Structure 1
Amino acid sequence: MIVSVILAAGEGKRMKSSFSKVSTKILNKPMISYIFSAAKNSGSDKICIVAGENKAYLEDLFKGEDVEFLHQEVGPGLPYGTAYAANLASPFIDDCDQVLVLSGDIPLIRAETLSKFIEFHKNGGFDTSLITAEKENPFGYGRIVKDENNVLKKIVEQRDASPEELQIREFNPGIYIFRGDLFKKHLKEIGTDNDQNEYYITDMIEILSSNGKKIGVYKTCDNIQVEGVNSKDQLFHLEMELRKRVNVDFMKEGVLLRGEDIFIEPGVKIGRDTEIFSGARILGNTSIGERCLITGDSYIKDSIIEDDVVIKSSYIEQSRVEKGSDMGPFAHLRPNSHLKEKVHLGNFVEVKNSTIGKGTKAGHLAYVGDADLGENINIGCGAIFVNYDGKNKHRAIVEDGCFIGSNANIVAPLKLAKNSFIAAGSTVTTDVEDGDLFINRAESRHIKKWVYRKNLKEEK
């Protein structure tokens, strides 16, 4: 059985943040969620997460998942280090298990890479294996020390490395597989004779090597997959790489992306021939159909967008837009809004908790809240659905074919029956019957020369 142990208790002081490092978001998802997904999809049979003060957060994040959560206490005088943290998982590991140890801050690791690593370990009959990589200056990483026969002898952390060892380019990203019995036996032998007085899991390699165990080295050429996050600039760098990876995958499936700064969260679904321009942000549980056009500063989250929809610099949250509709620029669908087919929302139109029927149009500067609108309705400029009385929200019903004039106020609760006509400037507080015209305006007064009689200005 493969048991994955994810080390996630680190406080991440170098991140200069009040939040747990592994909870820091990358492409709108907590960093650790990528590692968890990779482990789960790599063939792991069980996952253990070693948490610190973030334990409650992680339990909530992975609620419903089959995970063992282990608590590493942190604070002055308490033991620290990767070996100590990993050893907390020992009660959940059998001697015959293979233990995959991962850091919680390597968000670009792929499940396929871990699967190949596990296969390499099994096929080679190794007692333990580790992934290594190589780069010109592996600052911050432990160095891979080999003997004259190119056999791995030990891993030396940067703080403890000699000047000669610091010249080594091959480094340790912190991904291992251990035989279960060796994992449980030798972790207890590790001491703290190092610069930080911590229990290093890297010391396991030297222990196993000195005991004649067979160690496998799986060297990857894709360094970006195994890079960790210890600062906000490293986070930025990896997020740019992940964004590129996600966007390339969409383009391979027929989506046309026109800009490097398009932000799409992994897990979003987008149909072929949809065209997305710079500045768009698409997040959460969102599905976008085929042949859509999304431009400008558009933000779409947890929503369904059907085929042939045009969205220009608009915000959509927890809503649905049916095929052939268009909105924007600067329109806003707040949660629980539903645009049916071929609806048009123009500049600065806001919709909240409402359904708008097929072919209905609101060209500009309107608010539709808590309303059910039928088909082929015209909503004039400045029209407002008044849904709140200071204590309760109320709904309005507008049937097919109605005309709502500019600057009208529709004060719910009420019903406008089909084909009714609301004159511009009217405030409607009662139901309007089928085909009726409703006008509600104060009597106008036109007082000659009033400005001059009041000496407000001089008449010339």
Structure 2
Amino acid sequence: MYNCALILAAGEGKRMKSNTPKVLHKVCGKEMVNHVIDTLKSAGIEDINVIVGKSAEQVKEKTGDRNASYSLQDAQLGTAHAVKCALEFLKDKKGTVLIFTGDAPLITKDTVEKLVSYKDEEDYSGVIVTSIIENPFGYGRILRDRDGVKGIIEHKDCNKDELLINEINAGMYAFDIEDLVENIGKISNDNVQKEYYLTDIIKIFVKQNKKVGSLPVPFEETLGVNSPLELSKVEAIMRNRINTMHMINGVKIIDPVSTYIDVDVKIDSNTIIYPGNVLQGNTEIKEGTILYPNSRIENSIIGENVTVQCSVILDSTIGKNSTVGPYAYIRPQSVIGERTRIGDFVEIKKSVIGNGTKVSHLTYIGDAEVGQNCNFGCGTVVVNYDGKKKCKTIIGNNAFIGCNTNLVSPVEVKDNTYIAAGSTITEEVPEESLAIARARQVNIKGWVSKRKTK
């Protein structure tokens, strides 16, 4: 059976009070609309059309790598009007179309699969996703009679008895494509809001004696976002799901409430994550790694048996059996080798650090290639910027860089070299050499006594 989907993403989201379109606000590192797209794809729905509005170009830019198509709703005249704007997408299609909203990112793969199979097995013209809640204020109510679902009525149009109904419409549906296309034009805007409600098609189906069903799901899956407060609630639910999944898979998270892991982060089993860690983007944490409290790691690969303490690692790779921190800053495009030591208050920028090298404290390395088994003394600085351009430093294997050394780029330090503490190196240091580049010490005897006398 052919299946496709429409995602309603044209709303402006004025209550978000933000210049970012509502559906592009992120939940656990991913835009809400992309959560919905990815969930549909994981359930086997590949043909997806996103209905966009005023912020069409922004939405297209952020969803462009997901192979979706787009329909434009140039005026906000209701959900049925949005579907009408996608009729070209549905033209000549036969099968099932799912309709979801781009601001409800908690829907699960399991629910999508159930919705499709339930609609097909029972041969329904339409299936409504519903939930039972104690306080249904603001939600459309499901109207039933002895034969089942007979319609949906929006909250603002409810009478006193209808307001007491606690089965609500989640705003998610499965429709027979031909039945939907045939009847969408029959919906009117004769209601309080003067909008074209997609929910009205249920009444039309009932009048035509077409079968309509409902699929109850947990309320949290249906939660939509209309404000920063609602966004924070959805984020908390998603974060709990993510952390629970990792713990089931063998990750030890000491305090899940204070651990923030984005949805696309991958973590091997037998790792330990302490409170306050923030793992973002496409980060990968390999087996045996320990993340002590309060680090931020984004789009980085952390190798096996690495220890990270209170540091920031961005768009970089850390080799296995290495240690980072505390208070280290690994900036983008850095590659830290195996068995390395990146210590406290060390900053690495766009550099390669070889296996076994130790950069223990208070050091800056930028735009450099560093070999294996080197040692950097405290206070070393790679002077990589001449005021106009960034220049490169190359350091060979087994180099010993003394404390408070300045390496003025571009410069090369060959294998098996020593640089004396306090040196400013501006020329190549040959292999097996000791480089000393500092003023000769002069001691003036009696200078202090003479100064006091004066």
Q: TM-score, normalised by structure 1?
A: 0.94
| Matched residue, 1:448 | 448
Q: Residue 332 of structure 1 contacts residue 350 of structure 1 at CA under 8 Å; is this kept in 2?
A: yes
Same amino acid, percent of matched pairs: 38
Q: Give the match for residue 221 of structure 2.
A: 225
The 5 Å alignment of 1:356-395 reads 356-395=353-392
Which runs of no fewer than 5 residues in structure 2 stay unpaired?
none
1:204 paired with 2:201, answer yes
Q: How does 1:220-369 map to 2 (within 5 A)?
A: 220=217, 222-259=218-255, 260-369=257-366
Q: Superposition pairs for residues 151-162 of structure 1, below 5 Å?
A: 151-162=148-159
1:133 to 131, 134, 137: 131
Output the CA distance in 1 between the equivalents of 2:152 and 2:4: 23
- 1:66 to partner: Cα distance: 3.0
- The answer for the alignment partner of 1:458 in structure 2 is none
Structure 1, 189-198 or 326-335: larger mean CA deviation: 189-198
Aligned with 1:405 (options 402, 405, 420): 402
Instruction: Name whichever of 269-278 and 177-186 sits farther off.
Output: 177-186
Q: In the alignment, is residue 62 of structure 1 matched against residue 63 of structure 2?
A: yes
Contact 2:40–2:46 (CA under 8 A) maintained in structure 1? no
Q: How does 1:174-189 map to 2 (within 5 A)?
A: 174-189=171-186
Deviations 1:298-327 (A, max 9, x none): 111111111000011111111111110001
1:67 is aligned with what amino acid? A
2:253 match: secondary structure: strand
Q: Distance in 2 between matches of 1:67 and 1:97?
A: 18
Q: Does structure 1 conserve the Cα–Cα contact (< 8 Å) formed by 2:124 and 2:211?
A: yes
| AA aligned opposite 2:283 | T
SS at match of 2:345: strand
Contact 2:148/2:213, CA 8 A, preserved across alignment: no
Q: Distance in 2 between matches of 1:449 and 1:395?
A: 48
Amino acid in structure 2 at the alignment position of 1:120: Y
Q: Distance in 2 between matches of 1:6 and 1:125?
A: 23
- The CA deviation at 1:54 is 2.0
**C-alpha displacement of 1:419:** 2.2
Is 1:51 the counterpart of 2:52 in the alignment?
Answer: yes
Deviation digits for residues 252-285 of structure 1 (CA, Å, limit 9, x no counterpart): 1111111122111112211111111111111112
Give the equivalent residue in structure 2 for 1:29: 30
Tell me if structure 1 keeps the 8 A contact 2:346–2:359: yes
Q: Structure 1: how far apart are the matches of 2:319 and 2:79?
A: 51
Q: Which moved more, 1:395-404 or 1:377-386?
A: 395-404
Counterpart position of 1:116: 114
Aligned to 1:39: 40
* Secondary structure in 1 matching 2:81: helix
Question: Any idea what SS the aligned residue of 1:154 has?
Answer: strand
Contact kept, 8 Å, 2:354 with 2:370, in 1: the verdict is yes
What is the number of equivalent residue pairs in this alignment? 448
Equivalents in 2 of 1:444, 1:138: separation in Å? 83
* 1:45 to partner: Cα distance: 4.3
1:288–1:304: 8 Å Cα contact kept in structure 2? yes
Q: Secondary structure at the match of 2:439?
A: coil
**Superposed CA offset, 1:59-107 (max 9, x none):** 2223243322111113xxxx51000001111122236221111111110
Q: Under a length normalisation based on structure 2, what TM-score does the superposition of the two structures give?
A: 0.95
Kindly state the Cα deviation for residue 159 of structure 1 after the two structures are TM-superposed: 1.3
Distance in 2 of aligned mates of 1:450 and 1:292: 61
Asked if 2 retains the 8 angstrom alpha-carbon contact of 1:83 and 1:201, the reply is yes
CA distance in 1, matches of 2:270, 2:95: 47
Partners of 1:433 and 1:228 in 2: how far apart? 65
Question: What one-letter code is carried by the residue in structure 2 that aligns with 1:115?
Answer: E
Aligned to 1:96: 94
1:42 Cα deviation after fit: 2.1
Residues 406 and 424, structure 2, Cα contact 8 Å, conserved in 1: yes
C-alpha distance in structure 2 between counterparts of 1:398 and 1:244, whole Å? 46
Change (3 A) 1:90 1:97: farther
